[in-house]
Structure 1
Amino acid sequence: MRFEAAVTVQAPADRVWEVFSDVAKWPEWTPTIDSVERLDEGRIHLGARTRIRQPKLPVAIWEVTELVEGQYFAWVSRAPGITTTGGHRVTATPEGTVATSTVIQEGPLGWLFGKLYAKLTQRYIELEGESLKKVSEDA
């Protein structure tokens, strides 16, 4: 299953990227994250691992698998029967900076987890986008 949400932010792309890619600070600005524990040091990089606790969801460890500095990162969380990929994209446009979040759930249990948590997943990525917009524009 695939979920996606995008929001246009009235802030420079580098500012939006700075907020979006600093995953350790996510609990400070989005209510969809209870806690973040970086399992390595520094800014996100290929192979970086992070443990995230979210309300109503199992604790997950995410590993960065793709990174285009200033534009995009993707990370993957694996559990028995399911692989979840989260994408985070920042795109400068004449109307503002578009921040896009995607969640893709695959594997034998991916469709089941996706169905069971579809409304929650979509609500979370939309709320994260709204929160990202607010914190980026307020700076």
Structure 2
Amino acid sequence: MAHAYRTSTRVEAPADIVWQVLSDVERMPSWTSSMTSVTLVRPAARIAVGSRVEVLQPGLPQATWEVDGLVEGRGFSWSSTTPGVRTGAAHQVAPVSDAACEVTLVVAQSGMLAGLTNLVQGSRARELVDTELADLKSESEARARDRS
């Protein structure tokens, strides 16, 4: 059984600014309290398909995520596997004008222990996704104001 959570918001910043913020994953802890540390296993300038990323979030165990999809400027997805649970997350940026975009974050869990994991950690995971989205909006809009 799969458990999924999806949330979106309009960001009053150009998609390229949002993408700059979002795709520089190692800097996430500098703009969102939903990430304690984010480290590329093999450091590179940016994430790419196949990149492995160690992520520590408040209230959750450390996890290694592998980027399994990336469309430059528009989004990326990554997944993490623990015994009995596969967690996937997507980060999508869709321009709605030259100065604004819609950002969608999705997290989904599947596997034999997904229901139990969702019961134990689901509300915390959803809270962290909501925090990340709000903080991404705030950081991106501040950078857009600074650019003008």
Give the TM-score, by structure 2 length. 0.90
Structure 2 SS opposite 1:117: helix
**2:24 is aligned with 1:22:** yes
Query: For 1:32-111, what aligned pairs fall within 5 Å after superposition?
Result: 32-40=34-42, 41-94=44-97, 96-111=100-115
Match of 1:121 among 119, 125, 128: 125
CA displacement, residues 25-70 of structure 1 (integer Å, 9 cap, x when unaligned): 0000100111111112220101001101111101000000011111
Deviation at 1:115, TM superposition (A): 2.1
Determine the C-alpha separation between the residues in 2 that align with 1:21 and 1:111: 30
* RMSD between aligned residues: 1.1
Structure 1 SS opposite 2:13: coil
Number of aligned residue pairs: 139
Match of 2:138 in 1: 134
Structure 1 SS opposite 2:87: strand
Structure 2 SS opposite 1:73: strand
Match of 2:4 among 2, 6, 9: 2
Q: What percentage of aligned pairs have identical amino acids?
A: 37
State whether residues 24 and 37 of structure 1, in contact with CA within 8 Å, keep that contact through their aligned partners in structure 2: yes
State whether residues 101 and 125 of structure 1, in contact with CA within 8 Å, keep that contact through their aligned partners in structure 2: yes
Structure 1 SS opposite 2:22: helix
Structure 1 segments unaligned to the other structure (5+ residues): none
Q: Which amino acid aligns with 1:54?
A: Q
Determine the C-alpha separation between the residues in 1 that align with 2:134 and 2:47: 22
Query: 6-15 vs 34-43, which deviates more?
Result: 34-43
- Runs (4+) of structure 1 exceeding 2 A deviation are none
Structure 1 SS opposite 2:28: helix
Match of 1:13 in 2: 15
Determine the C-alpha separation between the residues in 1 that align with 2:131 and 2:93: 16
